[in-house]
């Protein structure tokens, strides 16, 4: 291994998936047919137990029952129509939630079909195999899976390497490599081994597998209200109580003025004044936020995680595979001292013969291309002792006879040379600093043998920043989000790449404890922190961060520590997750603004109609010139119900998010949804009134 970064993640670059996830069926753009298919569920939600969970709609539900009683005992066209449209208001609120849940159930049903009952080949203590049903497996069991067989449960590969078909979970048809050790050992139950043989250690109990949890989440069965959602529910309940008291207090005043109001009119007034629009759509907005994540192959353990993503103000991003392409390439050999380019090339080749990492292979490719040297090891070289890279030595190489060749991190190789009394040419550190300053990674090559010990030269490994990353960071900065690049590179290299990528800060030569310290420092400043990780050593930092996105290719420890799992194992998706979280918060805020503004406009329809007979001056407030007091009240109730249906697509799809500052978002929110919420009822109620006045007795 040649670098201080994690090479196993770079060895197989798993690109973002463009295939269609079977679990995404029905999760795309809003389809009007979903209203019809979800209608039976909406009817079932009329049960009082369900209505009690939403204080605003519970008041409407009680009002509907009350008016229905009057419509039966003392029927009139006005009373019957008010009762019908109050029930439609409750029904449409249920429909919004049912449509959101229905899309999740469609995904869950597809995922259930992907689950297969399997017979596992469990290893016993004496090493023999026994066949047991997959549901009988327990945590810690070792099972053997060979080509063509289905992996019986979630776990980690502890022996062997194999290609695995994960299309049933991720929707991507291209197979992936899973192997023991490193950060690509986790496998998911229900996926199929395509080649070779692996031994899997089961890490989950039956019924708690990755697919089981995914089904529960997309169905909404385990969705709990988030803190912001609970706070908004309390606010809406408080407003409802205030308006209820106001309407109750209105009757004595009306009686004193000689214009006693009926219970039907007071109920209609209450329903139109309380924030029914956002009360009806609140649950659907939360479910749709989870749904948008699932569409992007991200599994969140709770709605709290999605909401936290919207409030994130610091992003910790791994350099390799996130900001830069996963595989660094050797681009130049720089000899130092008395060494010739040919001597450096031969030494670099020997030190890389056993280096199977992408960086090691790229060194061989560079030498073969520019020098007349073979790519394959000779028979004598195959008998040599290869020295693997370790995190402690930070270098690798070969011992062939009395000759020792090493390449690796500058400090480690120079210390190795000096320990043997070797020579370190004066220009070595200058070349290293120059390569690091230009954003490259220097690997020093040294040799020790009968001819002496010394540094031969430096290999330049070049990182390439992914296209478009700088622009993405500019957008994040506009959103008030600080970006921090995490890398194992030395500070000079890290600084150069950070400047090239456009991140706000960087952490060089990062160790797990350094990540933890950085996260805690940011959190102490009141910031919410998000990060990605895939290895066991990332688990503490993932658990500490507010939004921890674990890669599906990573270890079980990482996936358990994080509160989201990216099935595509695409580190750049963290940026999309933050945008989805912000879209959720913006959608909720926009529709709340629209709902409150909506109520303001409805005052001008109902209040003048109620008291115009006593106070003719109020006729000036009848700016819509509605036909009669009864048509005005009925038109307001009908509009109040219809606007819920009209906003269901927006609640499910979400308000379009454009990266900008909080103040700019607030101005846009008030301009579009505040003024829009005031203007829409005037036009809507007026149009409804034109139709209502055609009803006999209402004109």
What is d(CA 519, CA 422) in angstroms, rounded to the nearest whole number? 42
| Residues with catalytic roles | 318
393 known ligand binder: yes
Dihedral over Cα of 168, 174, 178, 184: its sign: negative
| Predicted pLDDT of residue 570 | 75
| pLDDT tens digits, one per residue of 351-386 | 888 777 778 888 888 898 888 888 888 887 888 888
Binding site annotation covers 392? yes
Q: Provide the 3-class DSSP secondary structure of residue 179.
A: strand
DSSP summary character for residue 489 = S
* 502-510, long-range: CB < 8 A, 24+ apart: 502/469, 502/470, 502/473, 502/474, 503/317, 503/323, 503/473, 504/473, 504/477, 507/316, 509/4, 510/486
Give the model's pLDDT for residue 289.
81
Residue appearing with tokens 């960086």: 359
390 known ligand binder: yes
Per-residue pLDDT at 29: 47
Q: Which stretches of the chain score pLDDT less than 70?
A: 1-31, 103-117, 168-174, 181-183, 207-211, 213-225, 254-259, 302-303, 321, 325-327, 391, 609-623, 661-662, 699
pLDDT of residue 7: 32
Give me the pLDDT at residue 211, please. 67
Q: Are strands 529-533 and 547-551 parallel, antiparallel or unpaired?
A: parallel
CB 635 within 8 A of CB 694: no
Distance CA 44, CA 34 (A): 16
CA dihedral (590, 595, 596, 600) in degrees, to 10, reads: 130
Say which DSSP state 150 is in: B
359 known member of a binding site: yes
Torsion sign, CA atoms 547, 553, 554, 558? positive
- Determine whether the annotation assigns residue 407 to a binding site: yes
Cβ-count burial 50-68 (b if 16+ within 10 Å, e if not): ebeebbbbbbbbebbebbb
| Cα→Cα distances 435→40, 333, 346, 440, 503, Å | 67, 11, 21, 5, 20
The model's pTM is 0.67
Rounded-to-integer distance, Cα 331 and Cα 350, Å: 17
DSSP 402: T
Is 534 one of the annotated binding-site residues? yes
538 in a labelled binding site? yes
Dist CA 282 CA 234 (whole Å)? 12
Residue-by-residue DSSP string for 580-625:
HHHHHHHHHHHHHHHHHHHHHHHHHHHHHHHHTTT-GGGGGG-TT-
Q: Are 214 and 111 in contact (CB under 8 A)?
A: yes
């Amino acid at each position: 291994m040649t670098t201080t970064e994690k090479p196993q993640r770079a060895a197989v670059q798993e690109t973002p998936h463009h295939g269609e996830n079977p679990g995404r069926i029905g999760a795309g753009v809003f389809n009007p047919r979903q209203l019809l298919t979800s209608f039976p569920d909406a009817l079932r939600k009329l049960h009082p137990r369900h209505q009690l969970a939403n204080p605003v709609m519970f008041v409407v539900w009680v009002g509907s029952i009350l008016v229905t009683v009057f419509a039966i005992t003392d029927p009139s066209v006005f009373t019957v129509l008010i009762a019908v449209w109050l029930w439609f208001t409750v029904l449409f609120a249920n429909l919004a939630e049912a449509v959101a849940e229905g899309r999740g159930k469609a995904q869950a049903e597809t995922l259930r079909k992907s689950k297969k009952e399997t017979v596992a080949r469990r290893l016993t203590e004496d090493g023999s195999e026994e066949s047991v049903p997959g549901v009988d497996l327990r945590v810690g069991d070792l099972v053997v899976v060979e080509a063509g067989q289905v992996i019986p449960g979630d776990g980690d590969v502890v022996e062997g390497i194999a290609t695995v078909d994960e299309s049933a979970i991720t929707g991507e048809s291209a197979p992936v490599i899973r192997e023991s050790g490193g950060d690509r050992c986790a496998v998911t139950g229900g996926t199929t081994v395509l080649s070779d043989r692996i031994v899997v250690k089961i890490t989950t109990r039956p019924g708690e597998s990755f697919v089981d949890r995914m089904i529960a989440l997309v169905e909404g069965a385990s969705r709990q209200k988030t803190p912001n959602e609970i706070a908004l529910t309390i606010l809406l309940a408080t407003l409802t109580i205030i308006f209820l008291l106001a309407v109750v207090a209105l009757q004595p005043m009306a009686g004193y003025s000689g214009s006693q109001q009926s219970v039907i009119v007071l109920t209609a007034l209450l329903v139109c004044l309380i924030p029914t629009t956002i009360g009806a759509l609140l649950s659907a907005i939360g479910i749709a936020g989870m749904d948008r994540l699932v569409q992007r192959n991200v599994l969140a353990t709770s709605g709290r995680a999605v909401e936290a993503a919207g409030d994130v103000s610091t992003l910790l991003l791994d350099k390799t595979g996130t900001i830069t392409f996963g595989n660094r390439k050797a681009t130049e050999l720089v000899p130092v001292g008395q060494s010739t380019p040919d001597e450096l090339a031969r030494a670099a080749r020997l030190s890389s013969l056993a280096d199977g990492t992408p960086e090691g292979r790229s060194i061989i490719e560079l030498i073969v291309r520019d020098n007349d040297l073979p790519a394959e090891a000779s028979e004598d070289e195959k008998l040599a002792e290869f020295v693997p890279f370790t995190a402690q030595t930070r270098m690798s190489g070969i011992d062939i006879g009395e000759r020792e060749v090493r390449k690796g991190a500058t400090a480690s190789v120079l210390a190795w040379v000096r320990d043997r009394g070797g020579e370190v040419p004066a220009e070595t550190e200058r070349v290293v600093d120059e390569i690091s300053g230009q954003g490259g990674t220097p690997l020093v090559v040294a040799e020790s043998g009968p001819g002496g010990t010394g540094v031969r030269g430096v290999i330049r490994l070049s990182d390439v920043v992914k296209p478009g990353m700088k622009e993405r960071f500019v957008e994040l900065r506009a959103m008030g989000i600080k970006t921090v690049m995490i890398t194992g590179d030395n500070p000079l290299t890290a600084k150069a790449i950070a400047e090239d990528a456009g991140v706000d800060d960087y952490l060089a030569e990062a160790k797990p404890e350094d990540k933890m310290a950085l996260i805690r420092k940011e959190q102490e400043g009141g910031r919410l922190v998000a990060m990605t990780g895939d290895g066991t050593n990332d688990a503490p930092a993932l658990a500490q961060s507010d939004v921890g996105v674990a890669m599906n290719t990573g270890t079980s420890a990482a996936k358990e520590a994080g509160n989201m799992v990216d099935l595509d194992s695409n580190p750049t998706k963290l940026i999309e997750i933050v945008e989805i979280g912000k879209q959720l918060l913006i959608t909720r805020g926009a529709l709340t603004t629209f709902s409150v503004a909506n109520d303001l406009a409805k005052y001008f329809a109902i209040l003048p109609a109620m008291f115009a007979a006593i106070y003719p001056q109020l006729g000036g407030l009848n700016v819509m010139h509605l036909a009669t007091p009864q048509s005005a009240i009925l038109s307001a109730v009908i509009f109040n119900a219809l606007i819920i249906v009209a906003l269901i697509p927006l609640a499910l799809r979400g308000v379009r998010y454009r990266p900008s500052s909080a103040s700019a978002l607030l101005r846009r929110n008030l301009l579009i949804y505040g003024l829009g919420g005031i203007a829409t009822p005037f036009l809507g109620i007026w149009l409804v009134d034109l139709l209502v006045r055609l009803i006999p007795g209402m004109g």
